[in-house]
A and B are shown apart, each in its own frame.
Chain A
Amino acid sequence: MASGLLGFFTAMEEQGRIIVNGSPPCASLGRTRFDRLLLIGQCSVPLCLDALKAAIAEAKKGKDIQRYRDAWECIRLAAPDEPEAQFDDAWVTNTGKTNKNFTHQLEAELKGYKNNLIKESIRIGNRDLGEHLEAMGNLNGAADAYLKMRSDASVSFHVIDTNKHIIGVLLQKRDWAGILAYANKLTTSNPTLEDTTTEQPYQRMVTGLAYLGSERYYEAAACFLDVGDPIICQRYNDVASSNDVATYGGLLALASMDRDALQRSVLVTVSSEPRVAMQMNVLQTVRDYNKEALERLRRMSLAAADLEVKGQGRKGASSPAGSSSLPGLSDILLEESITNGSADVIEGVA
């Protein structure tokens, strides 16, 4: 390990961060990509440099200057010799300028919409502004903009949309209590079946994250386990990937639930592994059933053909003397000729 890296990780460890020596699963998706990359860069020894470089590239693709600064700060400590460790002043000033201009432009447009009193346009204008501010890293501004969308919402879909935007900002602000409040609002609006199937995964996921953040692990586990259709989950990869849901759901359930609850809610729902196992179990059961049924039929046939071994009452079995007093020994001769051969064959094979 390079001395720079060692120093960096020592520093990180002193900050109370976790250091991982193995390689993590690569599930970097959606807008959480930067966060994940940065986290990997801060934690993982083998992937540190690559992850940090990728994080810088990812940050430069966006508009958030603060993110770039964070990533740069890390790589400056970890590997000062890398080209990425040079602070890109030009990009920062440039991006800052563009951001400012674009903000002004959006605000001006919004003003125009407000003058025209077209509700939908005002809503969209607010949304665009919010999204821009969010991308810039101005979370408070973004939250304000999104909040303004509410007054112009005309259908329930708009309300849900607004709430989702707000939750997205709150997630980045790590405002768990706020998320819980908004997540609850997602469900109150008179749900149809379609709404439930499409909205429930999102709602459960964010609620689960909020509970997880506020250290209420049992509730979090319950939420993650209740997520539902994994295909719909995939639409919300910017919140959490279905992989995350399964992993955290499983871990939390293990940590917080008792065995019965585990059996009931975990083994029956999450992931396909239990399903495969169940299928194999069913196969095995059918196989055992077949074997058992054949055996029973066989015994019935033996009885029908009157082929049972017949004894002379119990005296043979209870006598300790052994073979001489056993009934049904007329087959000694036959048996000897067979068993004598067995040792030869087996030894021959061995």
Chain B
Amino acid sequence: MYTRKKAVKTAAWMPDLAHIVCLFVANLAVPYPICLVSKYAGYDRALLFSIVKYILLLLESRRPCDRVVNDWPSIMDQCASALLAFPPQSDPTDNEEYHKAAVLHTQRLSKMLKERPKDLVVFSTELLNVIDPAVNSLSYLALLHAVLIPSPAAQIPREFILEKLVIFMMRLDGRQCRYAGSTLLEIMEAVGSGRLLPVRTIYCEEAHPYVINMFIKPSVAVECLASAILRLDPSGTMLTSSHILLARLAYDTDNIQPALPVINKPIVYYPGMANNTNNSQYLCDLKLPPFSYISKATGLTLQLKTAMVLEYDLTCGMMYCARREWQKARDAFERDVTFPTKDGGCSKIMVDAYKKWILVSLLADGKFQNSPPRTAAPTTKTFGLLAQPYVSLAAAFTTDDVDQLRSEAQQNAQVWMEDANVGLVEEVMASYQKWRVLSLQDVYTKISIPEIRQMTKSAETGSVLNKDEDIEALIQNMIIAGMLKGVIEKNDDGTKFLHFLSPIVDLTEADVKLELKRVAAATQNLRQIAASTDQRLGSSKEFIKWLVKESRRDKSSMSEAQDPTLGFEQLDDEDLMGDMLSS
């Protein structure tokens, strides 16, 4: 090869420089230094030296530079211009224009990926430097895909690609990526598998400060995936296959915190819902509900199986358990327990969720009800049969009979072990005394500490605590944790009293206002969801049939001179929360 020979030859009379140049030549992934070196090979040493120095500088900073761009080989030029062609300069709010351009661009990209994936890999280092992931998300994604799928390209430094991958996941443009389809999904799957990005190691030191921050946190993969999911669907109300990957990854690697922004969102939509006809709307329309653009058809999610949905809620519940957020855990398990069933069916995941639900509702409310409302009758029966030890434990928990509780817990130790609920049962036993103290407020407004000590027993030892100080510490902890509203007062003769307070007193005006705002926002959110669901169902065949039938019946009933107001009146859309929001 001409270039290679010349460069090596030129370098021969200058050992240091030769070494450097040889390195460049050997490294095919960095083609432009070769071009430069070869071009100026015939000129004097000083010039060559300065050029190489400049190249070194460039490489170090890895920043695109006009001069270098001018010297790019033509193939890369082509690639770059093709990749930078989208988004168009025109008004980005024009959905039709945007849609057309996006579709064209994706076609071009897939053609490019198919026809010359090698070129893309070769030039990817420079191209990734030129392209802004937040602006040219689609092109950036295509490059990453070429480099990473099926496996990371060997000739490019791994940390460099991963750094770019992280930046992309944190900054991608959700609107553009609606067109990305399976390309994005594959990248997300690769991240979600936990193989690509480190789950808990500090990776590279000389990177973008933003990235360094990311890498120091032990959860890059989880955080990236969570960010990408929310960037694609800011409302987070649609369950996708990526959610399930995220939940699994976060739970398995114990990186729960970064997954919370996704996990905390209430799920309302599932892929593959019937009547999901996209009425000639453009994917890029920002007003679209998530189920219109995230579907199997757009390639942004896989079709989910029932077990996966159940698994997601179970995993969420266990994540909350690990964080000791019992209320949220209870809600998550409750979603599984009340999962809709057909023909008396019941999944083993549901039974497991039920067992955990019993324990967690003891921790969250100190109470136990047989099954949450809305549980299907046959399912309740199954639960009763399969979770008998849990039910009796819960029944004993709500009484003062500490020996009964202890014997229930000890007799069934094997069961807890098999169901992997030992930790939760221990938590339940530890919280028993706290709930007993709380139940005292049904009778007393003020009670002395020694009396509390005599009246409540610890489920761990089965007897009363030894010292008043112990029970006082227990109560203090409960007050600090917000479980108990009360104060400990000291009498003149030194006896300490626990004074129970009313549960609503400690809300200030500002708190109430904040809470009002939050609830109003939630309601507003709900309205949007309801509206899009209405739209979805309104266009279904069954509904239209029913509507036609209704209107016919209306007419016939009118002719029979019945009271017309019995039919459906036009319902006013009453704006109850509007005033609150505007104020």
Whether A316 pairs with B420 at a CB distance below 8 angstroms is no
12 pairs, CB–CB < 8 Å, chain A vs chain B: A305-B273, A305-B304, A309-B339, A317-B381, A322-B386, A323-B386, A329-B347, A330-B307, A331-B310, A335-B352, A341-B420, A350-B423
Scan residues 284-339 of chain A and give those whose CB is less than 8 A from a CB of chain B.
286-287, 290, 293-295, 297-314, 316-318, 320, 322-323, 326-332, 334-335, 338-339
User: Given the known A-B contacts A294-B526, A338-B318, A340-B420, are A331 and B342 also in contact in the complex, defined by CB atoms under 8 Å?
Assistant: no
Residues from chain A with Cβ under 8 Å of B275 in the complex? 304
Q: Which A-chain residue is minimally distant from B532 (CB atoms)? A: A297
Question: In the complex, what distance in Å separates the CA atom of A136 from the CA atom of B496?
Answer: 51
User: Chain B's nearest CB lies how many Å from the CB of A275?
Assistant: 11
User: Chain A's nearest CB lies how many Å from the CB of B122?
Assistant: 41
Question: In the complex, what distance in Å separates the CA atom of A26 from the CA atom of B429?
Answer: 48
Residues from chain B with Cβ under 8 Å of A305 in the complex? 270-274, 304
Convert B261-276 into 0s and 1s, putting 1 for each residue whose CB lies closer than 8 angstroms to a CB of A.
Answer: 0000011111111110
Whether A286 pairs with B421 at a CB distance below 8 angstroms is no
Whether B272 pairs with A306 at a CB distance below 8 angstroms is yes
**B515 contacts partner chain A, Cβ-Cβ < 8 Å:** yes
Whether B307 pairs with A331 at a CB distance below 8 angstroms is yes
User: Chain B's nearest CB lies how many Å from the CB of A115?
Assistant: 62
Question: In the complex, what distance in Å separates the CA atom of A303 from the CA atom of B529?
Answer: 16
User: Chain A's nearest CB lies how many Å from the CB of B511?
Assistant: 10
User: Given the known A-B contacts A338-B318, A342-B420, A346-B423, are A331 and B526 also in contact in the complex, defined by CB atoms under 8 Å?
Assistant: no
Question: In the complex, what distance in Å separates the CA atom of A329 from the CA atom of B335?
Answer: 18
User: Given the known A-B contacts A287-B522, A317-B344, are A293 and B423 also in contact in the complex, defined by CB atoms under 8 Å?
Assistant: no
User: Chain A's nearest CB lies how many Å from the CB of B404?
Assistant: 24
Q: Which B-chain residue is minimally distant from A281 (CB atoms)? A: B504
Residues from chain A with Cβ under 8 Å of B304 in the complex? 305, 307
Whether B344 pairs with A316 at a CB distance below 8 angstroms is yes
Convert B483-496 into 0s and 1s, putting 1 for each residue whose CB lies closer than 8 angstroms to a CB of A.
Answer: 00000000000000
Whether B340 pairs with A303 at a CB distance below 8 angstroms is yes
Whether A323 pairs with B351 at a CB distance below 8 angstroms is yes
Q: Contacting A334 at CB < 8 Å: which of B307, B341, B342, B385? A: B307
Residues from chain B with Cβ under 8 Å of A347 in the complex? 422-423, 426
**B315 contacts partner chain A, Cβ-Cβ < 8 Å:** yes
Pair count A-B, CB < 8 A: 197
Q: Contacting A302 at CB < 8 Å: which of B251, B340, B352, B378? A: B340
Chain A residues within CB distance 8 Å of chain B: 276-277, 279-280, 283, 286-287, 290, 293-295, 297-314, 316-318, 320, 322-323, 326-332, 334-335, 338-350
**B254 contacts partner chain A, Cβ-Cβ < 8 Å:** yes
User: Given the known A-B contacts A342-B321, A347-B422, are A310 and B427 also in contact in the complex, defined by CB atoms under 8 Å?
Assistant: no
Whether A342 pairs with B345 at a CB distance below 8 angstroms is no
User: Chain A's nearest CB lies how many Å from the CB of B248?
Assistant: 8
Question: In the complex, what distance in Å separates the CA atom of A51 from the CA atom of B64?
Answer: 86
Q: Which A-chain residue is minimally distant from B423 (CB atoms)? A: A346
Q: Contacting A298 at CB < 8 Å: which of B266, B272, B315? A: B266
Residues from chain A with Cβ under 8 Å of B423 in the complex? 342-347, 350
Scan residues 337-375 of chain B and give those whose CB is less than 8 A from a CB of chain A.
339-352, 356
Question: In the complex, what distance in Å separates the CA atom of A343 from the CA atom of B314?
Answer: 14
**B46 contacts partner chain A, Cβ-Cβ < 8 Å:** no
Residues from chain B with Cβ under 8 Å of A279 in the complex? 512
Most buried by A among B273, B304, B379: B273
Q: Which B-chain residue is minimally distant from A326 (CB atoms)? A: B346
Q: Which B-chain residue is minimally distant from A339 (CB atoms)? A: B420
User: Chain B's nearest CB lies how many Å from the CB of A177?
Assistant: 40
User: Chain B's nearest CB lies how many Å from the CB of A244?
Assistant: 23
Q: Contacting B309 at CB < 8 Å: which of A283, A302, A323, A330? A: A302
User: Chain A's nearest CB lies how many Å from the CB of B323?
Assistant: 8
**B382 contacts partner chain A, Cβ-Cβ < 8 Å:** yes
**B507 contacts partner chain A, Cβ-Cβ < 8 Å:** yes
User: Given the known A-B contacts A310-B342, A328-B345, are A304 and B254 also in contact in the complex, defined by CB atoms under 8 Å?
Assistant: no
Whether A317 pairs with B529 at a CB distance below 8 angstroms is no
Whether A298 pairs with B268 at a CB distance below 8 angstroms is yes
**B135 contacts partner chain A, Cβ-Cβ < 8 Å:** no
Whether A338 pairs with B344 at a CB distance below 8 angstroms is no
Whether B422 pairs with A343 at a CB distance below 8 angstroms is yes
Residues from chain A with Cβ under 8 Å of B392 in the complex? none
Whether B512 pairs with A328 at a CB distance below 8 angstroms is no
**B82 contacts partner chain A, Cβ-Cβ < 8 Å:** no
User: Given the known A-B contacts A290-B523, A326-B382, A346-B424, are A313 and B343 also in contact in the complex, defined by CB atoms under 8 Å?
Assistant: yes
User: Given the known A-B contacts A301-B269, A345-B251, are A277 and B504 also in contact in the complex, defined by CB atoms under 8 Å?
Assistant: yes
Question: In the complex, what distance in Å separates the CA atom of A200 from the CA atom of B244?
Answer: 67
Question: In the complex, what distance in Å separates the CA atom of A306 from the CA atom of B272?
Answer: 8
User: Given the known A-B contacts A307-B309, A309-B306, are A331 and B347 also in contact in the complex, defined by CB atoms under 8 Å?
Assistant: yes
Question: In the complex, what distance in Å separates the CA atom of A280 from the CA atom of B513?
Answer: 11
Q: Contacting A338 at CB < 8 Å: which of B254, B315, B382? A: B315
Whether B427 pairs with A350 at a CB distance below 8 angstroms is yes
Residues from chain A with Cβ under 8 Å of B516 in the complex? 283
**B106 contacts partner chain A, Cβ-Cβ < 8 Å:** no
User: Chain B's nearest CB lies how many Å from the CB of A243?
Assistant: 18
Question: In the complex, what distance in Å separates the CA atom of A311 from the CA atom of B340?
Answer: 11
Q: Which A-chain residue is minimally distant from B503 (CB atoms)? A: A280
